[in-house]
Amino acid sequence: MSVISTEQLTKSFGGVKAIKELDIIIREGACTALLGPNGAGKTTTLNMLAGLSKPTSGKVRFLEKDGGDHRGHIGYLPQYPTFYGWMSGIEYVSYLGELSGLPKKDAVRKGKELLSLVGLEKDMKKKTAGYSGGMKQRLGIAQALIHDPKLVILDEPVSALDPHGRREVLELMREMKKKTTILFSTHVLHDAEEISDDIYIMKEGKVIAEGSLVELQKKYQQPAVHIETEKNLNEWSENLLTAEWIRNAEIKEKAVTLTVSDLHQARVAILNDPAFHLLQPVRFEIVKTSLEDLFMQVTKS
């Protein structure tokens, strides 16, 4: 069952499409990463899912129903959260609990529970101005959970943190995902790989790869052959590109990486090709492309 999904979701700013006909499904109980370089459209998508901004066209479906106001069921941590530095952690979280409709006593009790969950039990009476980056993100996560949301949306929760803060927040998310559906954005592949079940890779407002972490790793960990030669291999590789076992070729003047469907066939065909030997090969290496290679290609341009 999906907690939230989109159908042809589109957002334009001044006639320019920032999000283009997006179809995504967030499975109940899963931790989903929206992964993409800066400007890919992650924040714009999350804002529409959270009900904070309206799509130009397309639909957001919450619990498989169209329309309606689902904002009360979503916990949201923005990319740049702001806190009242003069408030303590517990004052801040219980204040937001009251704003979401809890009676004061319940808001304080719930606030204390959540601050313990996020590891701020000892610091809950300190002013938030004195909190570290990691502590502030954890406080932000506590406030996002105060009304028992069905879905927690975290926009780049670890990007601005030092390695220590990053570890704190990733560990907390790992705990949270046992009980809550999480959707978070990141531009760091490693963060997505570390804690997510499902991944959507976005580029220029579109999803360019999607699947479970295992599916994506399998799909992009393809066999490849890397060749380097003394002579320019453009002409040879142009002929070669018609071979049915080639999936992709990245050619430089004297080097080519061929992603192949059948490693054995590729090896036999290349090594038995007289034209290949005339190029004076200096290197013939079997390698694997990975999800990281795909993501590097996406982020490079």
Ligand X SMILES: Nc1ncnc2c1ncn2[C@@H]1O[C@H](COP(=O)(O)OP(=O)(O)OP(=O)(O)O)[C@@H](O)[C@H]1O
Binding residues (CB under 6 A) for ligand X: these are: 13, 18, 36, 38-44, 187
Q: Work out how close the CB of 69 gets to ligand X at its nearest, in angstroms, rounded to a whole number.
A: 22
- For tokens 């606030």, name the residue: 111
Question: Using CA atoms, how far apart are residues 233 and 20, in angstroms rounded to an integer?
Answer: 39
Q: Work out how close the CB of 167 gets to ligand X at its nearest, in angstroms, rounded to a whole number.
A: 21
Q: Using alpha carbons, list the distances in angstroms from residue 205 to 9, 164, 289, 295.
A: 10, 32, 25, 15
DSSP assignment string, 56-94: SEEEEEETTEESS--GGGEEEE-SS----TTSBHHHHHH
Nearer to ligand X, 3 or 49 (CB): 49
Q: Work out how close the CB of 96 gets to ligand X at its nearest, in angstroms, rounded to a whole number.
A: 24
Residues 145, 152 contacting (CB under 8 angstroms): yes
Residues 116, 66 contacting (CB under 8 angstroms): no
Maximum separation of any 2 CA atoms in the chain, in Å: 82
Q: Work out how close the CB of 18 gets to ligand X at its nearest, in angstroms, rounded to a whole number.
A: 3
Nearer to ligand X, 49 or 294 (CB): 49
Q: Work out how close the CB of 274 gets to ligand X at its nearest, in angstroms, rounded to a whole number.
A: 49
Structure tokens at 216: 């994506």
Nearer to ligand X, 110 or 187 (CB): 187
Nearer to ligand X, 75 or 78 (CB): 78
In DSSP terms, 266 is beta-bridged to none
Nearer to ligand X, 78 or 165 (CB): 78
In DSSP terms, 248 is beta-bridged to 259
Dihedral pair phi/psi, residue 197, rounded to 5°: -90, -45
Nearer to ligand X, 36 or 134 (CB): 36
Nearer to ligand X, 200 or 236 (CB): 200
Phi-psi group of 104: left, alpha or beta (phi > 0 → left; psi -120 to 50 → alpha; rest → beta): alpha
Contacts of 185 (CB under 8 A, 6+ apart): 33, 34, 35, 36, 42, 43, 45, 46, 79, 154, 155, 156
Nearer to ligand X, 36 or 75 (CB): 36
Q: Work out how close the CB of 216 gets to ligand X at its nearest, in angstroms, rounded to a whole number.
A: 19
Sign of CA dihedral 292, 76, 151, 181: positive
Q: Work out how close the CB of 128 gets to ligand X at its nearest, in angstroms, rounded to a whole number.
A: 23
Structure tokens at 12: 């334009």
Q: Work out how close the CB of 42 gets to ligand X at its nearest, in angstroms, rounded to a whole number.
A: 4
